[in-house]
Amino acid sequence: MKIQYKGSVSPEALETESTKLVSEEQVTSSEASIKTQKDRFYLPVLNINHNHEWPSKPLEDRKHFTDEVATETCLGNCCGVEGLKGACCHLDPYDTEHVLGPLKGSDKDEWIRDILAWFRKRGLNLTRADVVIDYEEGKIIGETLFKDAPNNGIFQEPSAYPMLRFQVIGPRYACKFMNPVTYKCGIYAMRPNMCRTYLCNYVLTNFLVKTKSKPNTWQKVR
Ligand code: SF4
Ligand code: SF4
């Protein structure tokens, strides 16, 4: 998952960070509207890639980030915000903090081939464009849907593609494969490696994790 930056999650910090990333002229006119949308959909803007904003929890206070803990956290206490689900699978049109790509390595061609075959077996004859966004289209998406995000330059970078296609959820977007009611991944067993190996800064600074380089060891990474 290509991330530009991530950050802290206290409500006060979120408020500060989200407004800071909007231009000065926009703040006055859109602050109230953004706050209303945040309240309504309960999805604060999270800067999940701002390393410096996530304090490292002492070793003795950390739990193992097991599948069970991951489910509890990601589907109900994402980034330490009660009720928040799956922020890293969402995109925010006011703050393009991360995009759902690039798919690279085996994700790039093999995963796309395999997921299309997986859908075909279930009677859905999808094409590549149904599951990913490529550069030419993504450039236009960046200039249109994300035109109000001060940090939308990521869409102009060929290296950010292919990225997972997304859907509209409330005032934001989320991966096309996220169930919009349960917020669970609809292709969990088939999700790309990008998603399997992704650990946000909240997870890295609060839990003991297994990484790709040390898959058998619970460790404090940050
Ligand atoms: S990995 Fe981090 S950002 Fe993603 S759902 Fe879990 S807690 Fe939230
Ligand atoms: S494939 Fe699943 S885990 Fe990956 S971004 Fe989409 S919903 Fe999230």
Q: Which atom of ligand 2 is nearest to the CA of 188?
A: 2
- Ligand 1 and 209: CB distance under 6 A: no
Does 2 reside within a domain? no
pLDDT by residue for the chain (222 residues), tens digit each?
Answer: 544 333 333 333 333 333 333 344 444 455 555 555 544 455 555 677 777 778 999 999 999 999 999 999 999 999 998 888 999 999 988 877 789 999 999 999 999 999 999 999 999 999 999 999 999 999 999 999 999 888 889 999 999 999 999 999 888 899 999 999 999 999 999 999 999 999 999 999 999 999 989 999 999 999
- Ligand 1 and 174: CB distance under 6 A: no
DSSP single-letter state for residue 149? -
Q: Is 187 exposed, middle or buried (0-12, 13-18, 19+ CB in 10 A)?
A: middle
DSSP single-letter state for residue 91? E
Q: Which atom of ligand 1 is nearest to the CA of 198?
A: 1
The ligand 2 site (C-beta within 6 Å) comprises: 89, 100, 164, 175, 177-178, 185, 187, 191, 195
Nearest partner of 138 among 191, 183, 101, judged by Cα: 101
- Ligand 1 and 201: CB distance under 6 A: no
Range of the domain at 172: 11-208
Question: Looking at the 3D structure of the chain, how many domains does it have?
Answer: 1
Distance CA 33, CA 100 (A): 26
Element containing residue 169 per DSSP (H, E): strand 166-169
Does 18 reside within a domain? yes
Does 213 reside within a domain? no
Does 222 reside within a domain? no
Q: Which of 57, 73, 75, 205 to mutate to test the pocket of ligand 1 (most atoms within 8 A of CB)?
A: 73
Instruction: State residue 3's pLDDT score.
Output: 40
CA distances from residue 138 to 70, 79, 91 in whole angstroms, order as listed: 31, 28, 14
Distance CA 147, CA 150 (A): 8
Does 219 reside within a domain? no
Instruction: State residue 172's pLDDT score.
Output: 87
Instruction: State residue 190's pLDDT score.
Output: 97
ipTM exceeds 0.90, yes or no: yes
Does 27 reside within a domain? yes
Does 23 reside within a domain? yes
Instruction: State residue 39's pLDDT score.
Output: 47
Q: What is the pLDDT of residues 123-167, one digit of tens each?
A: 999 999 999 999 999 999 999 999 988 888 999 999 999 999 999
Does 220 reside within a domain? no
Ligand at shortest distance from the CA of 166: 2
- Atom 8 of ligand 2, residue of closest alpha carbon: 89
Q: Which atom of ligand 2 is nearest to the CA of 194?
A: 4
Ligand at shortest distance from the CA of 177: 2
Helix, strand, or coil here: 157? coil
Q: Is 106 exposed, middle or buried (0-12, 13-18, 19+ CB in 10 A)?
A: exposed
- Atom 6 of ligand 1, residue of closest alpha carbon: 74
Distance CA 13, CA 15 (A): 5
